[in-house]
């Protein structure tokens, strides 16, 4: 059967496979070992963000003319990178990939001048903090119906007002990609310098994602030039889909870490003279975790493949996001249960993964695949 006869091909390209090997090794050697100390300290490991620059992910979607690799925009590659880094640690993965989400969006919908700004700022030998400011506090978040407003003045400038939540890096972000409701024009994106007047930041603390610097951002009459607005052809529905895919990919990576940890544990943990994996209740729970994870992974890959082909992936992206929330929390909970009393102690990382997976229900648009 030829590749053209398949609904979608799950075989990564040679370049994707090489990148995966590098990213997986980095996640294993740099992130996984530092995850627990970072969680305890409530801060990213010193020097970690600079190390992520060596992965070269920010250079991939940027054209060669602007100093990038010119590999093109690839939701499939982004999903694979998010999954692999999240397997090391979800908090560090979000921090490392936040600038790439800004790059991807600007390369898709930014003007030539904005693409040059982003390339010069984010595709360098140093790590430059940047973040997407899309999420807002409250239930029922919808990127197509935002409370943050953008009012156009007679001189062509825009005035932004509103509140954003879970903005990575907060006051340290040098570039912010802010989404706001611009009247009849609908939701629009604005590329804004982090030191623009009118921003107020307040640190947010959560049960999970403790090392990740997250802030609530208040915009009070923030004036930005007309050149800050992304192009009019911006597809908010597609960006929302890509945000849901990124969240689902975070779930896949973290759930894989849980599964990789509990399988040897239940095989080695002896109770009443035999490994606890010999008991059907335990074996069935592990099998359910593996089945749910693989189903979620295939759903994410299929949606990413559709997005890469330019197809409408709204339905499958929504389902992937909902299943990521459902099964992510279930796999995290089952992981804790399989360790018994040990699952609640800090001697094992499962409780940390459980707390991080509980955050999936609030993440929507922090990263873009």
Given a cut of 80, whether residue 27 has pLDDT beyond it is yes
Interatomic CA distance for residues 366 and 94, integer angstroms: 8
Asked if 215 and 44 count as a contact pair (C-beta separation under 8 A), the reply is: no
Report the b/e string of 273-290 with b at 16+ CB within 10 A: eeebbeeeebeebbeebe
pLDDT (0 to 100) of residue 9: 66
Read off the pTM. Answer: 0.94
Domain extent listing, the chain = 3-128, 132-228, 236-362
Specify the CATH number of the domain 132-228: 2.40.110.10
Task: Give residue-wise pLDDT tens across range 204-263.
Answer: 999 999 999 999 999 999 999 999 999 999 999 999 999 999 999 999 999 999 999 999
Q: What is the mean pLDDT of residues 337-348?
A: 90
pLDDT (0 to 100) of residue 1: 43
Task: Give residue-wise pLDDT tens across range 50-95.
Answer: 999 999 999 999 999 999 888 888 999 999 999 999 999 999 999 9
Q: What is the mean pLDDT of residues 8-35?
A: 90
Q: What is the mean pLDDT of residues 95-117?
A: 96
Select from 148, 278, 170, 159 the least CA-distant residue to 216: 170
Specify the CATH number of the domain 236-362: 1.20.140.10
What's the sign of the alpha-carbon dihedral 55, 58, 60, 64? Answer: negative
End-to-end CA distance of the chain: 30
Given a cut of 50, whether residue 3 has pLDDT beyond it is no
Select from 24, 90, 34 the least CA-distant residue to 252: 90
Asked if 297 and 82 count as a contact pair (C-beta separation under 8 A), the reply is: no
Given a cut of 70, whether residue 331 has pLDDT beyond it is yes
* Angle subtended at Cα 90 by Cα 102 and Cα 241, rounded to the nearest 5 degrees: 45
Given a cut of 80, whether residue 148 has pLDDT beyond it is yes
In this predicted model, which residue has the larger pLDDT, 15 or 247? 247
Distance of CA 95 to the CA centre of its chain: 9
Report the b/e string of 307-318 with b at 16+ CB within 10 A: bbeeeebbebbe
Tokens for 186? 């609908």
Specify the CATH number of the domain 3-128: 1.10.540.10
pLDDT (0 to 100) of residue 342: 87
Percent of the chain with pLDDT over 70: 98
113-117, 243-247, 308-312: range with lowest mean pLDDT: 308-312
pLDDT (0 to 100) of residue 5: 45
């Amino acid at each position: 059967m030829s590749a053209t006869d398949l609904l979608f091909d799950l075989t990564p390209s040679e370049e994707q496979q090489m990148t995966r090997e590098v990213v997986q090794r980095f996640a294993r050697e740099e992130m996984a070992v530092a995850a627990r100390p970072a969680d305890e300290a409530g801060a990213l490991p010193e020097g970690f963000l600079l190390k992520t620059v060596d992965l070269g992910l920010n250079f991939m979607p940027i054209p060669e003319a602007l100093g990038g690799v010119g590999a093109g925009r690839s939701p499939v590659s982004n999903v694979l990178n998010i999954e692999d880094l999240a397997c090391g640690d979800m908090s560090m993965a979000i921090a490392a990939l936040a600038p790439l989400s800004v790059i991807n969006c600007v390369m898709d919908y930014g003007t030539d001048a904005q693409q040059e700004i982003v390339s010069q700022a984010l595709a360098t030998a140093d790590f430059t903090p940047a973040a997407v400011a899309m999420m807002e506090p409250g239930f029922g978040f919808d990127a197509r119906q935002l409370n943050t407003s953008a009012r156009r003045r007679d001189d062509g400038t825009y005035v932004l007002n509103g509140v954003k939540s879970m903005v990575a890096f907060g006051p340290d972000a040098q570039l912010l990609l802010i989404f706001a409701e611009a009247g009849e024009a609908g939701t629009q994106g604005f590329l804004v310098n982090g030191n623009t007047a009118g921003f107020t930041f307040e640190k947010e603390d959560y049960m999970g994602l403790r090392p990740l610097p997250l802030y609530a951002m208040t915009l009070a009459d923030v004036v930005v030039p007309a050149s800050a607005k992304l192009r009019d052809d911006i597809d908010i529905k597609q960006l929302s889909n890509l945000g849901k895919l990124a969240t689902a990919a975070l779930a896949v990576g973290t759930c894989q870490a849980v599964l990789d940890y509990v399988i040897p544990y239940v095989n080695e943990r002896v109770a009443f003279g035999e490994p606890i994996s010999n008991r059907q209740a335990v074996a069935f729970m592990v099998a359910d975790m593996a089945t749910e994870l693989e189903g979620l992974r295939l759903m994410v890959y299929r949606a990413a493949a559709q997005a890469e082909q330019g197809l409408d992936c709204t339905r499958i992206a929504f389902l992937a996001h909902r299943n990521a929330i459902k099964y992510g929390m279930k796999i995290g909970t089952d992981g804790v249960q399989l360790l018994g009393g040990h699952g609640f102690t800090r001697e094992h990382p499962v409780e940390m993964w459980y707390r991080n997976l509980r955050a999936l229900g609030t993440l929507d648009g922090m990263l873009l695949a």
